[in-house]
Structure 1
Amino acid sequence: MKWKVKEVAELVGVSVRALHHYDEIGLLTPTETMESGYRLYSEENLETLQQILFFKELGFPLKEIKTMLNNPSYDRKEALVLQRKMLVEKRGRIDQMIETIDKTIKHMEGEIHMTNEERFKGIQFTSNPYEEEARKRWGNESVDEANKKLQSLTKDEQHELSEKWDTIFKKLASLRKQSPESEEAQAAIKEWYDLLNNNFGQYTLEAFRGLGQMYIQDERFTKNIDQYGEGLAAFMSEAMTVFANKQNKS
């Protein structure tokens, strides 16, 4: 089922103008646009919109929300768990401030006496640890820069890049039974290193090594990479470490 922009606005309780703005900045692009010009939103669009509105309620700027949603390691279920923790924390702070306000009114009316400590109970300026976790997990600026570069490519250029990506992964998959230190493996890993640097921003050798570690530490990366061949993520991780170490010595 697809929904028109007015239907989504009425369903969710946001303005049509807001939805148009999300589309303009590339935060939420409708799945389909009809010849008549009507934007059509899919079920997946609604799921993304829910995420946007939760993060917005929690005080995240739209630019940061876009960065997180575009992060390759973004996981909606993990985000929902974090959003729930942030909202529970926010609810606790609000409940505490309401209690402080009630006590302050009673203090002003002479019913109770408040200490200075009680007067400011619940008013916090420290950041929410779960918010910091969300920003750290998905708010990498380098990802935002990479997405900017990708969005600047034409469809033909994006298709060409996708084919290069696919070719390198298939080549590495065919080599995964060899030693990661082998000449062929290192040549293929250099192709991967060059593709990343030419298309996704500047990767230092340390960042490249760290990316390889993420391939085996984050099960979502492992699962996606191992679609090309079981054990490929571990092979690439080790080959990337070998490559970075060799380049540092040269």
Structure 2
Amino acid sequence: MKVKEVAELFDISIRTLHHYDEIGLLPPKEVSEAGYRFYSEENLETLQQILFFRELGFNLKEIKEIINNPSFDKQEAFILQRKMLMEKRNKLDRMIENIDKTLKHMRGEIHLTNKERFEGMNMTFNEYEEEARCRWGNHSIDNMNFKLSRLSKEEQDDLSVRWDWIFHNLASLRNLAPQSKEVQAAIREWYDFLNNHFTQYSLEAFYGLGQLYIQDERFTKNIDQYGEGLASFMSEAMKAFAVQQKRGSSDEHHN
């Protein structure tokens, strides 16, 4: 299909398709000597997934990383995208229901408690979104191993000592709630340690890393060497950290 036909089929601009080509996100199957772009059936499937990922809040850089990942599977992606859209729809349905009840409350038809007024307003992370980012978009382990290999023996030893201290410290706090001030301070040290020495973690990626601690048995086994149940404990603490930091950032923005 020609670029104009694809643009009309997906209801997007020709300029958008040109941009996707320019950044290497969606190069057409063929380009004629005259410079005309021609898109294959496979191109159309890829474009469909790009648009779904965009609708679900992924930026173009993340989408490019995901679809270019060697382990990326289109059918698996469609299944996961469906789960994400269902979660998004359910969240919107709950918020619409909340608005309807609030309007009735304002008209005096019903009475809502403060707790009821905020039902359906949970803005925490979509677990399927994090699964997608962890599954295809997170190269943190590769980045970590690469950076470690470039350090001197002394630098590696220093990092290893700091690494062990952080994990032993967290293991000693397992009797406390993951949301407690002491645990959150320790998790902040882990977050800063990773960002300062290995790769830049967004709050979403940090949350996703915590999910891997309990989803991937290799992580679980290695972390639990410092204390039984530590992987699960850290996962909960990292989730709480990401949610609290995101909420704090949102409050500062509104103020």
Q: Which runs of 5+ in 2 are unaligned?
A: 144-217, 219-255
What's the counterpart of residue 25 of structure 1? 23
Q: Counterparts of 1:141-220 in structure 2 under 5 Å?
A: 141=139
- The question of whether the paired residues in 2 share the 8 Å contact of 1:28 and 1:45 is answered with yes
What is the TM-score of this pair, normalised by structure 2?
Answer: 0.54
Alpha-carbon distance change, 144 to 46 in structure 1, aligned in 2, over 3 angstroms: farther
Q: For the residues of structure 2 that align with 1:118 and 1:77, how far apart are their CA atoms?
A: 39
Encode CA deviations 1:1-59: one digit per residue, 9 max, x unaligned: xx111110100111111111111111000111112221111100000001101111110
Which residue does the alignment assign to 2:66?
A: 68
Structure 1: which amino acid aligns with 2:117?
Answer: R
Partner of residue 182, structure 2: none
Question: TM-score, structure 1 length as denominator?
Answer: 0.55
Name which one, 1 or 2, has greater alpha-carbon Rg: 1
- Find the counterpart in structure 1 of residue 94 from structure 2: 96
Consecutive unaligned residues in structure 1, runs of 5 or more: 146-212, 214-250
1:71 touches 1:143 (CA, 8 Å); kept in 2?
no
- 1:53 matched to which residue of 2? 51
Runs of 4 or more, structure 1, over 6 Å off, are 142-145
Pick one of 135, 138, 148 that aligns with 2:136. Answer: 138
Distance in 1, matches of 2:32 and 2:142, equals: 29
- Matched with 1:121 is 119
Match of 2:156?
A: none
SS at match of 2:79: helix
**Quick one: which amino acid aligns to residue 136 of structure 2?**
W
Q: 1:71 to 1:138 in 2, by over 3 A?
A: same
Instruction: Give the counterpart letter for 1:31 in structure 2.
Output: K
Q: Is the 8 A contact 1:70 1:144 kept in 2?
A: no
Distance in 1 (CA, whole Å) between partners of 2:111 and 2:46 is: 49
Matches of 2:113 and 2:15 in 1, distance apart? 48
Number of aligned positions between the proteins: 144
> For the Cα contact (< 8 Å) 1:5–1:41, is it kept in 2?
yes
Matched residue, 2:4: 6
Q: What is the percentage of aligned positions where both structures have the same residue?
A: 70
RMSD: 1.9
- Which string of whole-angstrom CA distances, capped at 9 and with x for unpartnered residues, describes residues 65-104 of structure 1? 1001000000011111111111111000000000001111
Cα distance, 1:142 vs. partner?
6.3
Counterpart of 2:223 in structure 1 is: none
Look up the SS of the partner of 1:67 in the other structure: helix
The 2-side partners of 1:114 and 1:7 are apart by 52
* Equivalent residue, structure 2, for 1:37: 35
C-alpha distance 21-86 of structure 1, shift in aligned 2 (>3 A): same
d(CA) in 2 for partners of 1:27, 1:142? 21
The separation in 1 between residues aligned to 2:118 and 2:16, in whole angstroms, is: 36
Cα separation, partners in 2 of 1:115 and 1:11, compared to 1, 3 Å: same
Q: Report the AA paired with residue 122 of structure 2.
A: Q
Distance 1:144 1:29, change over 3 A: farther
